[in-house]
Amino acid sequence: SKRSRRNLTPLPRSFPWRFRQDLRRKGCGVVRIPSAAVEPLQRIAQEYLTREFPQFSPKTAKPKLRGQGRKSVESIEAQGSTATESTESTGSFFRADGLNAAFPSSMSWHWASDAATLEVFAKAGQHVLRFLGDDFALVAASLVVASGDCMDDLSKFHLDFGPPKIPRGVAATALMPLWPDRFPSEGHLEIRPWDANEMVTYHYQAGRAVVFDGKLAHRTQPFRIQSFAGTSLRVLASMSF
């Protein structure tokens, strides 16, 4: 039924304990990310993607995001470099294509490659960490960019942290849509919640990050890139904890 399927799909929680309950039971949960944390990330991503992908055409209108800004977390430190206002507008990324057979060749990962860029992701990541708890930390972040079709036979269910020695509850991934502002009816996230015997589709929404355990099976919902004609790309922010 529609009601039972709603119960299977993770919803944003107002209290960390409710989120952690979802994470333990379902293997996933949802966190609201305020616009004050998303917009700096969109700015550096837009500047980088317009250089890397000439076809990229982001809309100028800003998405309406829910939630209010909270106090900043401490900057993420890296070797000899820290984030500053002057470096926020120019992100540094390392591109990696074809990470594994669970994704089509048209999907690429663009990893934050210095402390200043990672700090911009951290502005969103702090809100995820408030719900995950003190046992987690942001360790890596990337832009996940699809520039072509993702057909059914090329999108496979997989685990982000598959090795058996990594147990449940110690690693997580957060995915948050950046472009387009509003996703079409395809290209979302298909998951297999631990408390269900069926696949569930989580629908990406601006200002929300879906957070899932490293042992949760998931895949990209198949899509045709023409459905993303407004931007010519499908872009997510990915954060590893």
- Among 4-18, 116-130, 138-152, 227-241, which stretch is predicted with the lowest mean pLDDT? 4-18
What does the block give as tokens for 130?
């408030």
Ramachandran category for residue 232: left, alpha or beta (phi over 0 → left; psi -120 to 50 → alpha):
left
Q: What is the pTM of this model?
A: 0.84
Burial 115-130 (b: 16+ CB within 10 A, else e): bbbbbbbbbbbbbbbe
How high is the mean pLDDT of the chain? 85
Taking 90 as the threshold, does the pLDDT of residue 12 lie above it? yes
Q: Could you give the CA distance from residue 132 to residue 19 in angstroms, rounded to a whole number?
A: 8
Taking only the tens place, the pLDDT of each residue in 92-147 is: 999 988 667 778 788 999 999 999 999 999 999 999 999 999 999 999 999 999 99
| CA nearest to 121, candidates 29, 22, 32, 42 | 42
Taking 60 as the threshold, does the pLDDT of residue 227 lie above it? yes
CA 217 and chain centroid, separation: 15
Q: Could you give the CA distance from residue 162 to residue 175 in angstroms, rounded to a whole number?
A: 18
Q: Could you give the CA distance from residue 208 to residue 35 in angstroms, rounded to a whole number?
A: 10
Judged by DSSP in three states, 3 sits in helix
Categorize the per-residue pLDDT at 75 as very low, low, confident or very high, splitting at 50, 70 and 90: very low
What does the block give as tokens for 157?
């269910």
pLDDT at 38: 96
Taking 50 as the threshold, does the pLDDT of residue 212 lie above it? yes
The residue that leads in pLDDT, 191 or 55, is 191
pLDDT at 196: 87
The residue that leads in pLDDT, 57 or 210, is 210
Taking only the tens place, the pLDDT of each residue in 31-59 is: 999 999 999 999 999 999 999 998 888 76
